[in-house]
Protein backbone atom coordinates (compact mmCIF):
# COMPACT_ATOMS: atom_id res chain seq x y z
CA UNK A 1 0.00 0.00 0.00
CA UNK A 2 1.59 3.24 -1.08
CA UNK A 3 1.41 6.19 1.21
CA UNK A 4 -1.37 8.50 0.15
CA UNK A 5 -1.79 11.79 1.92
CA UNK A 6 -5.40 12.71 1.47
CA UNK A 7 -6.55 13.12 5.01
CA UNK A 8 -7.48 10.21 7.21
CA UNK A 9 -8.88 8.18 4.33
CA UNK A 10 -6.88 6.10 1.97
CA UNK A 11 -8.27 7.27 -1.31
CA UNK A 12 -8.08 3.83 -2.80
CA UNK A 13 -10.90 2.37 -0.76
CA UNK A 14 -13.77 3.81 1.19
CA UNK A 15 -14.25 2.43 4.69
CA UNK A 16 -17.01 -0.14 4.91
CA UNK A 17 -18.94 -1.44 7.84
CA UNK A 18 -16.39 -4.21 8.07
CA UNK A 19 -13.58 -1.73 8.67
CA UNK A 20 -15.57 -0.09 11.43
CA UNK A 21 -16.26 -3.50 12.95
CA UNK A 22 -12.57 -4.37 13.03
CA UNK A 23 -11.60 -0.99 14.42
CA UNK A 24 -14.15 -1.32 17.20
CA UNK A 25 -13.42 -4.98 17.78
CA UNK A 26 -16.96 -6.18 17.20
CA UNK A 27 -18.89 -7.88 14.42
CA UNK A 28 -20.52 -6.22 11.44
CA UNK A 29 -23.94 -6.99 12.86
CA UNK A 30 -23.17 -5.11 16.02
CA UNK A 31 -21.96 -2.10 14.11
CA UNK A 32 -25.16 -2.09 12.10
CA UNK A 33 -27.26 -2.25 15.24
CA UNK A 34 -25.26 0.45 17.00
CA UNK A 35 -25.42 2.79 14.04
CA UNK A 36 -29.02 2.33 12.99
CA UNK A 37 -30.35 2.00 16.54
CA UNK A 38 -32.33 -1.09 15.64
CA UNK A 39 -31.67 -3.94 18.07
CA UNK A 40 -29.55 -4.30 21.17
CA UNK A 41 -26.20 -2.66 21.69
CA UNK A 42 -24.57 -2.12 25.08
CA UNK A 43 -23.93 1.54 25.66
CA UNK A 44 -20.15 1.18 25.96
CA UNK A 45 -20.03 -0.88 22.77
CA UNK A 46 -22.26 1.60 21.00
CA UNK A 47 -19.96 4.42 21.95
CA UNK A 48 -16.90 2.53 20.81
CA UNK A 49 -18.54 1.86 17.47
CA UNK A 50 -19.63 5.45 17.04
CA UNK A 51 -16.13 6.69 17.76
CA UNK A 52 -14.58 4.22 15.34
CA UNK A 53 -17.05 5.21 12.63
CA UNK A 54 -16.35 8.89 13.14
CA UNK A 55 -12.59 8.37 13.11
CA UNK A 56 -12.72 6.44 9.88
CA UNK A 57 -15.12 8.91 8.34
CA UNK A 58 -17.52 6.09 7.69
CA UNK A 59 -20.64 6.92 5.68
CA UNK A 60 -23.05 4.03 5.05
CA UNK A 61 -23.50 3.05 1.42
CA UNK A 62 -27.05 3.95 0.44
CA UNK A 63 -26.88 1.67 -2.58
CA UNK A 64 -26.09 -1.38 -0.54
CA UNK A 65 -28.66 -0.48 2.08
CA UNK A 66 -31.36 0.09 -0.51
CA UNK A 67 -30.50 -3.12 -2.27
CA UNK A 68 -30.92 -5.05 0.91
CA UNK A 69 -33.99 -3.27 2.22
CA UNK A 70 -35.69 -2.95 -1.14
CA UNK A 71 -36.98 0.51 -0.33
CA UNK A 72 -35.40 3.63 -1.71
CA UNK A 73 -35.32 7.11 -0.23
CA UNK A 74 -34.97 9.09 -3.42
CA UNK A 75 -37.52 10.59 -5.75
CA UNK A 76 -37.30 11.53 -9.38
CA UNK A 77 -38.34 14.95 -10.63
CA UNK A 78 -38.95 15.57 -14.31
CA UNK A 79 -39.48 19.19 -15.34
CA UNK A 80 -39.91 20.60 -18.81
CA UNK A 81 -37.62 23.60 -18.85
CA UNK A 82 -35.54 24.91 -15.98
CA UNK A 83 -34.90 28.19 -17.78
CA UNK A 84 -38.57 29.01 -17.47
CA UNK A 85 -38.93 30.57 -14.00
CA UNK A 86 -42.13 28.60 -13.53
CA UNK A 87 -40.37 25.25 -13.64
CA UNK A 88 -37.36 26.53 -11.76
CA UNK A 89 -39.52 27.64 -8.87
CA UNK A 90 -41.45 24.41 -8.96
CA UNK A 91 -38.17 22.50 -8.75
CA UNK A 92 -37.06 24.71 -5.86
CA UNK A 93 -40.23 23.83 -3.95
CA UNK A 94 -39.78 20.17 -4.67
CA UNK A 95 -36.15 20.25 -3.57
CA UNK A 96 -37.02 21.97 -0.33
CA UNK A 97 -39.81 19.59 0.59
CA UNK A 98 -37.84 16.54 -0.49
CA UNK A 99 -34.93 17.56 1.69
CA UNK A 100 -37.22 18.07 4.65
CA UNK A 101 -38.65 14.60 4.25
CA UNK A 102 -35.30 12.94 3.88
CA UNK A 103 -35.51 12.22 0.18
CA UNK A 104 -32.74 12.87 -2.27
CA UNK A 105 -33.92 14.30 -5.56
CA UNK A 106 -32.89 13.07 -8.98
CA UNK A 107 -33.74 15.82 -11.43
CA UNK A 108 -33.89 15.95 -15.21
CA UNK A 109 -34.73 18.88 -17.45
CA UNK A 110 -36.70 17.18 -20.22
CA UNK A 111 -36.46 20.15 -22.59
CA UNK A 112 -40.14 19.80 -23.46
CA UNK A 113 -39.26 16.66 -25.42
CA UNK A 114 -41.32 13.51 -25.03
CA UNK A 115 -38.35 11.40 -26.02
CA UNK A 116 -35.99 12.87 -23.46
CA UNK A 117 -38.74 12.45 -20.94
CA UNK A 118 -39.14 8.75 -21.70
CA UNK A 119 -35.42 8.13 -21.48
CA UNK A 120 -35.28 9.93 -18.17
CA UNK A 121 -38.19 7.87 -16.90
CA UNK A 122 -36.39 4.69 -17.78
CA UNK A 123 -33.32 5.89 -15.93
CA UNK A 124 -35.51 6.49 -12.88
CA UNK A 125 -36.86 2.96 -13.06
CA UNK A 126 -33.30 1.69 -13.24
CA UNK A 127 -32.48 3.76 -10.18
CA UNK A 128 -35.43 2.22 -8.34
CA UNK A 129 -36.64 5.59 -7.07
CA UNK A 130 -39.45 5.54 -4.54
CA UNK A 131 -41.61 7.78 -6.75
CA UNK A 132 -41.62 10.41 -9.44
CA UNK A 133 -43.11 13.84 -9.87
CA UNK A 134 -43.42 15.09 -13.41
CA UNK A 135 -44.70 17.98 -15.46
CA UNK A 136 -45.60 15.58 -18.26
CA UNK A 137 -44.88 16.27 -21.93
CA UNK A 138 -46.77 13.19 -23.06
CA UNK A 139 -49.15 10.57 -21.64
CA UNK A 140 -46.42 7.94 -21.92
CA UNK A 141 -44.47 8.75 -18.75
CA UNK A 142 -47.18 8.14 -16.21
CA UNK A 143 -48.28 4.96 -17.91
CA UNK A 144 -44.77 3.63 -18.15
CA UNK A 145 -43.82 4.42 -14.58
CA UNK A 146 -47.11 3.10 -13.21
CA UNK A 147 -46.67 -0.14 -15.14
CA UNK A 148 -43.41 -0.54 -13.26
CA UNK A 149 -45.15 -0.02 -9.98
CA UNK A 150 -43.62 3.39 -9.36
CA UNK A 151 -45.93 6.02 -7.82
CA UNK A 152 -46.31 9.12 -9.97
CA UNK A 153 -47.61 12.59 -9.29
CA UNK A 154 -48.43 14.71 -12.31
CA UNK A 155 -47.93 18.41 -11.66
CA UNK A 156 -49.32 21.47 -13.42
CA UNK A 157 -51.11 19.34 -16.02
CA UNK A 158 -52.54 15.84 -16.08
CA UNK A 159 -52.61 13.11 -18.67
CA UNK A 160 -53.69 10.32 -16.40
CA UNK A 161 -56.20 11.94 -14.06
CA UNK A 162 -58.13 9.25 -12.28
CA UNK A 163 -55.38 6.67 -12.37
CA UNK A 164 -52.52 8.73 -10.95
CA UNK A 165 -52.27 11.59 -8.48
CA UNK A 166 -52.13 15.15 -9.65
CA UNK A 167 -51.39 18.58 -8.27
CA UNK A 168 -52.67 21.43 -10.37
CA UNK A 169 -53.91 24.97 -9.96
CA UNK A 170 -57.38 26.32 -10.56
CA UNK A 171 -56.82 26.82 -14.26
CA UNK A 172 -60.44 27.26 -15.23
CA UNK A 173 -61.38 29.58 -12.41
CA UNK A 174 -58.16 31.55 -12.92
CA UNK A 175 -58.79 32.01 -16.63
CA UNK A 176 -62.40 32.89 -15.94
CA UNK A 177 -61.38 35.45 -13.36
CA UNK A 178 -58.82 37.04 -15.63
CA UNK A 179 -61.26 37.24 -18.52
CA UNK A 180 -64.09 38.46 -16.31
CA UNK A 181 -61.77 41.16 -15.02
CA UNK A 182 -61.45 42.44 -18.59
CA UNK A 183 -65.17 42.11 -19.18
CA UNK A 184 -65.94 44.12 -16.09
CA UNK A 185 -63.67 46.87 -17.32
CA UNK A 186 -65.88 47.06 -20.39
CA UNK A 187 -63.96 44.99 -22.93
CA UNK A 188 -65.93 43.02 -25.53
CA UNK A 189 -63.24 42.10 -28.02
CA UNK A 190 -60.90 39.99 -25.92
CA UNK A 191 -58.22 37.91 -27.58
CA UNK A 192 -56.86 34.67 -26.15
CA UNK A 193 -53.26 33.61 -26.72
CA UNK A 194 -52.81 29.95 -25.90
CA UNK A 195 -50.19 27.39 -26.87
CA UNK A 196 -52.32 24.28 -26.97
CA UNK A 197 -55.65 22.95 -25.75
CA UNK A 198 -54.65 19.28 -25.56
CA UNK A 199 -53.03 19.48 -22.19
CA UNK A 200 -55.29 20.02 -19.24
CA UNK A 201 -53.78 23.43 -18.56
CA UNK A 202 -54.64 24.72 -22.02
CA UNK A 203 -57.99 23.01 -22.10
CA UNK A 204 -59.10 24.39 -18.76
CA UNK A 205 -57.83 27.88 -19.41
CA UNK A 206 -59.54 27.92 -22.76
CA UNK A 207 -62.82 26.89 -21.18
CA UNK A 208 -62.42 29.39 -18.39
CA UNK A 209 -62.10 32.06 -21.06
CA UNK A 210 -65.22 30.75 -22.84
CA UNK A 211 -67.21 30.64 -19.62
CA UNK A 212 -66.41 34.23 -18.76
CA UNK A 213 -67.44 35.40 -22.21
CA UNK A 214 -70.58 33.27 -22.10
CA UNK A 215 -71.58 34.67 -18.74
CA UNK A 216 -71.42 38.15 -20.23
CA UNK A 217 -73.29 37.14 -23.39
CA UNK A 218 -70.29 37.90 -25.55
CA UNK A 219 -70.08 35.83 -28.67
CA UNK A 220 -66.75 34.10 -29.16
CA UNK A 221 -64.85 35.33 -32.18
CA UNK A 222 -62.63 32.45 -33.41
CA UNK A 223 -60.25 34.92 -35.03
CA UNK A 224 -59.43 36.21 -31.59
CA UNK A 225 -58.30 32.82 -30.31
CA UNK A 226 -54.67 32.33 -31.27
CA UNK A 227 -53.13 28.87 -31.03
CA UNK A 228 -49.61 30.16 -30.79
CA UNK A 229 -46.42 28.14 -30.64
CA UNK A 230 -44.71 27.58 -27.35
CA UNK A 231 -41.99 30.20 -27.55
CA UNK A 232 -41.66 33.95 -27.21
CA UNK A 233 -40.68 34.49 -30.84
CA UNK A 234 -43.75 32.81 -32.23
CA UNK A 235 -46.11 34.44 -29.82
CA UNK A 236 -44.61 37.83 -30.62
CA UNK A 237 -45.04 37.25 -34.35
CA UNK A 238 -48.65 36.24 -33.97
CA UNK A 239 -49.31 39.20 -31.73
CA UNK A 240 -47.72 41.60 -34.21
CA UNK A 241 -50.05 40.23 -36.88
CA UNK A 242 -53.16 40.50 -34.83
CA UNK A 243 -52.49 43.85 -33.20
CA UNK A 244 -51.45 45.62 -36.38
CA UNK A 245 -54.43 44.32 -38.36
CA UNK A 246 -57.79 46.00 -38.68
CA UNK A 247 -60.43 45.53 -36.04
CA UNK A 248 -57.92 44.58 -33.38
CA UNK A 249 -59.01 43.46 -29.92
CA UNK A 250 -59.05 45.91 -27.03
CA UNK A 251 -57.60 43.35 -24.64
CA UNK A 252 -55.47 40.22 -24.65
CA UNK A 253 -55.45 37.34 -22.21
CA UNK A 254 -52.16 35.41 -22.53
CA UNK A 255 -52.44 31.91 -21.15
CA UNK A 256 -48.90 31.65 -19.78
CA UNK A 257 -45.82 33.71 -18.99
CA UNK A 258 -44.01 32.89 -22.23
CA UNK A 259 -46.89 33.92 -24.46
CA UNK A 260 -47.37 37.01 -22.34
CA UNK A 261 -43.80 38.02 -23.00
CA UNK A 262 -44.32 37.70 -26.75
CA UNK A 263 -47.48 39.77 -26.64
CA UNK A 264 -45.87 42.32 -24.40
CA UNK A 265 -42.94 42.72 -26.77
CA UNK A 266 -45.28 43.11 -29.73
CA UNK A 267 -47.23 45.81 -27.93
CA UNK A 268 -44.02 47.68 -27.26
CA UNK A 269 -42.77 47.34 -30.83
CA UNK A 270 -46.03 48.58 -32.29
CA UNK A 271 -45.88 51.59 -30.03
CA UNK A 272 -49.28 50.81 -28.57
CA UNK A 273 -49.95 52.41 -25.24
CA UNK A 274 -51.04 50.03 -22.51
CA UNK A 275 -53.47 50.06 -20.89
CA UNK A 276 -54.99 53.03 -22.75
CA UNK A 277 -55.08 51.41 -26.17
CA UNK A 278 -54.75 47.77 -25.24
CA UNK A 279 -55.12 45.81 -22.02
CA UNK A 280 -53.05 42.73 -21.19
CA UNK A 281 -53.52 40.11 -18.53
CA UNK A 282 -51.43 36.96 -18.14
CA UNK A 283 -51.81 33.56 -16.57
CA UNK A 284 -48.77 32.79 -14.40
CA UNK A 285 -47.08 35.73 -12.76
CA UNK A 286 -43.41 36.01 -13.71
CA UNK A 287 -40.89 38.29 -12.00
CA UNK A 288 -40.57 40.68 -14.93
CA UNK A 289 -44.30 41.43 -14.87
CA UNK A 290 -43.98 43.51 -11.74
CA UNK A 291 -40.90 45.30 -13.03
CA UNK A 292 -41.86 46.53 -16.46
CA UNK A 293 -43.94 49.61 -17.12
CA UNK A 294 -46.85 49.31 -17.12
CA UNK A 295 -46.77 46.44 -14.69
CA UNK A 296 -48.61 43.46 -16.08
CA UNK A 297 -51.77 42.19 -14.38
CA UNK A 298 -51.60 38.44 -13.90
CA UNK A 299 -53.18 35.38 -12.38
CA UNK A 300 -50.57 34.35 -9.84
CA UNK A 301 -50.00 30.79 -8.79
CA UNK A 302 -47.86 29.73 -5.85
CA UNK A 303 -45.41 27.76 -7.93
CA UNK A 304 -42.98 26.96 -5.14
CA UNK A 305 -45.86 25.49 -3.18
CA UNK A 306 -46.95 23.54 -6.24
CA UNK A 307 -43.65 21.67 -6.20
CA UNK A 308 -43.68 21.23 -2.45
CA UNK A 309 -47.25 19.95 -2.44
CA UNK A 310 -46.43 17.46 -5.16
CA UNK A 311 -43.65 15.98 -3.07
CA UNK A 312 -45.97 15.81 -0.07
CA UNK A 313 -48.58 14.02 -2.16
CA UNK A 314 -45.97 11.63 -3.47
CA UNK A 315 -44.74 10.86 0.01
CA UNK A 316 -48.28 10.06 1.14
CA UNK A 317 -48.78 7.88 -1.92
CA UNK A 318 -45.58 6.00 -1.13
CA UNK A 319 -46.86 5.41 2.38
CA UNK A 320 -50.24 4.12 1.21
CA UNK A 321 -49.86 2.84 -2.35
CA UNK A 322 -53.34 1.41 -2.68
CA UNK A 323 -55.46 4.40 -1.72
CA UNK A 324 -57.58 6.04 -4.39
CA UNK A 325 -55.81 8.59 -6.54
CA UNK A 326 -56.19 12.21 -5.59
CA UNK A 327 -56.02 15.44 -7.54
CA UNK A 328 -55.13 18.46 -5.46
CA UNK A 329 -56.17 21.83 -6.81
CA UNK A 330 -54.31 24.85 -5.50
CA UNK A 331 -55.81 28.28 -5.52
CA UNK A 332 -54.79 31.18 -7.72
CA UNK A 333 -55.34 34.88 -7.34
CA UNK A 334 -55.65 37.71 -9.76
CA UNK A 335 -53.10 40.45 -9.24
CA UNK A 336 -54.51 43.48 -10.95
CA UNK A 337 -51.68 45.81 -11.88
CA UNK A 338 -51.35 48.54 -14.44
CA UNK A 339 -51.82 46.79 -17.76
CA UNK A 340 -55.59 46.49 -17.51
CA UNK A 341 -58.03 49.39 -17.79
CA UNK A 342 -61.28 50.19 -19.58
CA UNK A 343 -61.11 50.03 -23.37
CA UNK A 344 -60.61 53.22 -25.38
CA UNK A 345 -63.82 55.02 -26.22
CA UNK A 346 -64.42 54.76 -29.94
Residues that bind a copy of itself (CB under 8 A): 6-9, 11, 14, 57, 59-64, 66-67, 72, 74, 81-83, 85, 88-89, 91-92, 95-96, 99, 104-109, 111, 116, 119-120, 122-123, 125-128, 146-149, 261, 264, 287-288, 291-293, 304
Beta strands in 5-73 (DSSP E): none
Work out what residue 261 binds among a copy of itself, DNA, none; the CB cut-off runs from 5 to 8 Å by kind. Answer: a copy of itself
DSSP for 183-212? HHTT---EEEEES-SSSHHHHHHHHHHHHH
CB contact at 8 A, 307 and 90: yes
Q: Is 122 in the site for DNA (CB under 7 A)?
A: no
Least distance between DNA and beta carbon 17 (Å)? 3
Q: Is 104 in the site for DNA (CB under 7 A)?
A: no
Site stretch for DNA (CB under 7 A), options 28-36, 98-106, 170-178, 249-257: 28-36
Bridge pairing between strands 165-169 and 327-330: parallel
Rounded to the nearest 5°, which phi and psi values hold at 322? -100, 0
Site stretch for DNA (CB under 7 A), options 39-47, 222-230, 251-259, 328-336: 39-47
Work out what residue 91 binds among DNA, a copy of itself, none; the CB cut-off runs from 5 to 8 Å by kind. Answer: a copy of itself
Q: Cα–Cα distance between 145 and 124 in angstroms, integer?
A: 9
CB contact at 8 A, 317 and 153: yes
Preceding amide of 166 cis, omega within 30: no
* Candidate residues 33, 157, 172, 205; the one interacting with DNA per rule CB under 7 A: 33
Q: Is 337 in the site for DNA (CB under 7 A)?
A: no
Q: How many residues bind DNA (CB under 7 A)?
A: 31
Q: Please enumerate in sequence order all residues whose Cβ is within 8 A of that of 36, keeping only pairs 6 or more positions apart, or say none.
A: none
Q: Cα–Cα distance between 285 and 300 in angstroms, integer?
A: 5
* Candidate residues 6, 13, 83, 219; the one interacting with DNA per rule CB under 7 A: 13
State CA 301 to chain mean position distance. Answer: 12
Q: Is 54 in the site for DNA (CB under 7 A)?
A: no
- Report the residue number, 48 or 176, with the smaller CB distance to DNA: 48
Bridge pairing between strands 297-301 and 332-335: antiparallel
Least distance between a copy of itself and beta carbon 182 (Å)? 22
Least distance between DNA and beta carbon 37 (Å)? 10
Site stretch for DNA (CB under 7 A), options 60-68, 74-82, 133-141, 208-216: 60-68
| Residue among 112, 174, 200, 168 at smallest CA distance from 313 | 168
For DNA, the binding residues (CB under 7 A) are: 13-14, 16-18, 25-30, 32-33, 35-36, 38-43, 45, 58, 60-61, 64-65, 67-70
Amino acid sequence: MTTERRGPLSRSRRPTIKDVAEAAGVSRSTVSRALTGRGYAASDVRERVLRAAAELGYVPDVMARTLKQQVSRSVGVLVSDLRNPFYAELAAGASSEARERGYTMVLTDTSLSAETESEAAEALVALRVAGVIVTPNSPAVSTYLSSHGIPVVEVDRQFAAGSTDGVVVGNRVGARTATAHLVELGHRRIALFIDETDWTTGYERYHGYLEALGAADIKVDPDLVVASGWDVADSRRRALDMLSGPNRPTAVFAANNVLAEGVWRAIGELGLRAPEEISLVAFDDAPWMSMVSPQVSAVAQDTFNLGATAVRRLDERIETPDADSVTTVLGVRLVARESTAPPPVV
